Amino acid sequence: MDKSVQTVRDLFHMSNKALDQAGRAGAFHHLVRRKAAVTDTFLSTLKDIHSKVMFLPLSSEGVFGSGLHSKLTSRKEQKDQMNDLMPEFFDKPERKFVSNAYDTVRSAYKKPRL
């Protein structure tokens, strides 16, 4: 009787271990897919949202799940609130594009006559 109980316990432990390993492999695959999607969508360049996106809970609703939309809308709302509080910080003049900077520098320097 003790031997059969021990066999059942061993089988249960092995099945739990196998399920745990399969779950970890699936989660790892999901995180790799998420990292690739973050890189492809250039969300990795947005430092404030990058960490929030990478650590969203895993779900069966795609790579990011439904949490990405809420994080992006909250980020937009925060940016709008900051723009309302400090408009002079966000209303920077646009940079002018110098078509040929090399010619501008060359014309400022006059070559001495020999």
pLDDT tens sequence for the chain (114 residues): 677 777 777 767 777 666 666 666 677 777 777 777 777 777 767 776 667 776 676 666 666 667 777 777 887 888 888 888 877 766 666 666 555 555 555 556 666 676
pTM: 0.38
CB-CB neighbours of 68 under 10 Å: 21
Report domain extents, the chain: 2-93
